[in-house]
Chain A
Amino acid sequence: MLLIPCPWCGARPDSEFASGGEAHIVRPPQPDAVSDEQWGRYLFFRENVKGVQRERWMHAQGCRRWFNVVRDTVTHEIKAAYAMGEPPPQAHR
């Protein structure tokens, strides 16, 4: 079980949360202007990191707010949590 530090509710078990996958994926500002190749990359292609990954979580059975987490996908260690729209902590950029 993961103990996920929700910035608003504190540390709660992962069964309360929904994972939103990789964080900081930027939607192309003008979808009409990008090629199918680029649009496919935005929609579907992921780093799928083995190691430290920045990802989005939503406290689905709590405050229902989104936030970002830095987590190791091998050890499951959670290194940091930070708000949506904020840059990742310096050590994990």
Chain B
Amino acid sequence: MRYSLWSLLGNAIGGHERWPRAWRSPEPKRFYDVVIVGGGGHGLATAYYLARNHGITDVAVLERGPIGLGNTGRNTTVVRSNYLCDDSAHLYEHALKLWENLSHELNFNTMFSQRGVVNLAFTRHELAEMERRAGAMRLNGIDCELLTVADLKRWIPILDTRDTARHPLLGGLVQRRGGNARHDAIAWGYARAANALGVDIIENCAVTGIRQHGGRVVGVDTSRGHIAAGRVGVAVAGHCSVVMGLAGVKLPIQSFPLQALVSEPVKPVLHTVVMAGHVHVYLSQSDKGELVIGAARDNYVSYAQRGSFHLIEEQLRALLGLFPVFSRLRMMRQWAGIVDCAPDASPIIGKTPVANLYVNCGWGTGGFKATPGSGWVFAHTIVNDEPHPLNRNFTLERFHTGRLVDEAAAAGVAH
């Protein structure tokens, strides 16, 4: 069923009891041309673009639980492409361009809102880095503007821009095409659109083994039986080392908890995304009125989906330094997701030492924004058995050649 004003009116008359399921819940077949392991945004987007861009519809997406409950449902929903390195800029900008038309493309409201992403500078060096990044972004054809303190005061009136502020500001950088999207909608929208093209979305199906024959992947063992596959793509974020370990493939990845929290809902008070890397907090206000506030990640390996309390304290201390107006705001919920971090804070999308087995991981603390672009290039990589030009420099080989895409050094913490 196509969602439209007419379908909405028709179902309103019917008391909203006759909406069809957005995607089927099929029994897994015994063979698929392509099996995607991981039913988060990246896996579902990959399945969708396999069908839409390449006409490959004999595809299954296997998800251990219900779809979209991992990092897709746990991030802070920021979308941007303000990267320094050319390779990253092109990849994330491709994703941002896909975001701009995604609601139409999927016939599903992703609530994409280009409210702007503002980065704040508190030191001369941060300001110099921003000027450099703005130059790089312009050369890559990506919109950005440097802001003075006066601009910031006008743009975000509740920001403490006084000289006597806890964190005196020196300036900022804004990407106005950046913003937020509804995180769940991206999983549901891609699932529904992929399903409509014939993809099987198989929930509650944990992968327990990856079968190989002669150095070539031939299928996966799951909690719902063996599924043979021509090709297997793995997009499981924090658990990539575990799943790829089933195939004997070791990765340059460590998994860490990354936390976020939301406040009680309040009236509209913040109309843009604010990121303060130096004091380490970033936030936006959701359409429900809650402030969605991101924190630093813990610095030790964990699969526990919970973070340290002292990081919350630091995050809120930074928040109140910037926005004293929030001092009496109460926090409602806190959670963590397990993020897969590569040494250079850039993703890994490409082939593996096992033929016909592909990996998409290493998105670290910033994978949500890339979801459409990630699916696009991963589908291409799986179909052609070689990377798309956009992920050519994001393969595993870079950890042997030394050609890293070092956003960790380039842009610091904000990923």
- A residues apposed to B, CB below 8 Å: 1-2, 13-15, 18-19, 21-22, 36-37, 39-41, 43-50, 53, 55, 71, 73-76
Contact = CB atoms under 8 A, between A and B. Distances in A.
A48 B310 contact: no
Interface of B is mostly: loop
A46 B253 contact: yes
8 contacts: A15-B308, A40-B252, A45-B252, A45-B399, A46-B252, A46-B254, A55-B300, A73-B304
B326 interface: no
Interface of B: 239, 241-242, 250-255, 299-304, 308-310, 342-343, 399-402
A14 B255 contact: no
Interface of A is mostly: mixed
A38 to B, nearest CB: 9
B300 A19 contact: yes
B308 A76 contact: no
A62 to B, nearest CB: 15
Given A21-B254, A36-B402, A37-B400, A48 B301 contact: yes
A46 B301 CA distance: 11
Contacts of B302: 73-74, 76
Contacts of B301: 19, 21-22, 48-49, 53, 55, 73
B399 A43 contact: yes
A48 B401 CA distance: 22
Contacts of A55: 300-301
A14 B343 CA distance: 22
Given A1-B309, A15-B308, A73 B399 contact: no
Contacts of A18: 299
B379 to A, nearest CB: 26
A47 B241 contact: yes
Contacts of B343: 43-44
Given A1-B310, A45-B251, A50-B239, A14 B399 contact: no
Contacts of A73: 255, 301-304
A2 B307 CA distance: 10
Given A1-B310, A49-B301, A44 B239 contact: no
A16 B228 CA distance: 49
A45 B299 contact: no
Contacts of B304: 73-76
Contacts of A37: 400
Nearest to B343: A44
B249 to A, nearest CB: 10
Contacts of B402: 36, 40
A50 B308 contact: no
Given A71-B300, A73-B302, 9 more contacts: A36-B400, A39-B400, A41-B250, A43-B399, A44-B399, A46-B253, A48-B241, A48-B251, A76-B304
